[in-house]
Amino acid sequence: QVQLVQSGAEMKKPGASVKVSCKASGYTFTDYFLHWVRQAPGQGPEWMGWISANNGGTNYAQKFQDRVTMTRDTSINTAYMELRSLTFDDTAVYYCARDGSGPRHWGQGTLVTVSS
């Protein structure tokens, strides 16, 4: 079965960067896009972008265009999302999700807390 396992919780200071990983199993990694979605406390999901696991092509939401980078390593079936210049507003749970006409299979989420 499709499984996405994300890296553990992170605590960062304002201005720092965070890199979250998402290890996929149970399917052919390069056959699907991977989405990154975040959810701030008490808010709904917010789509950040996707990466093609096949060729590494990306498409970012305009809000994050200048400070997000999504990459993947096909040798270990893992995708990464790096967010730079963190502010308190970036405190959220970050999810990866495999595509299937939209996010279909979700990781467990990674809590990123930005605190001074």
Partner 1 sequence: NFMLTQPHSVSESPGKTATISCTRSSGNIADNYVQWYQQRPGSAPTTLIYEDNRRHSGVPGRFSGSIDRTSNSASLTISGLRTEDEADYYCQSYDPVNRHVVFGGGTKLTVL
**Backbone Cα Rg of the chain:** 13
Nearest CA to 22 among 53, 61, 60, 57?
A: 53
Residue from 29, 50, 64, 80 in contact with partner 1 (CB under 8 A): 50
Q: How far apart are the first and last CA of the chain?
A: 40
Q: Which amino acid is at 49?
A: G
Interacting residue with partner 1 among 70, 83, 109, 112 (CB under 8 A)? 109
26 binds partner 1 (CB under 8 A): no
> Of residues 5, 11, 104, 115, which one binds partner 1 by CB under 8 A?
104
Q: Considering only 10-18, 21-29, 69-77, 95-103, which stretch makes contact with partner 1 by CB under 8 A?
A: 95-103
Q: How far is the CB of 107 from partner 1 (least distance, A)?
A: 7
State the residues that interact with partner 1 by CB under 8 A: 35, 37, 44-47, 50, 59, 61, 93, 95, 100-109
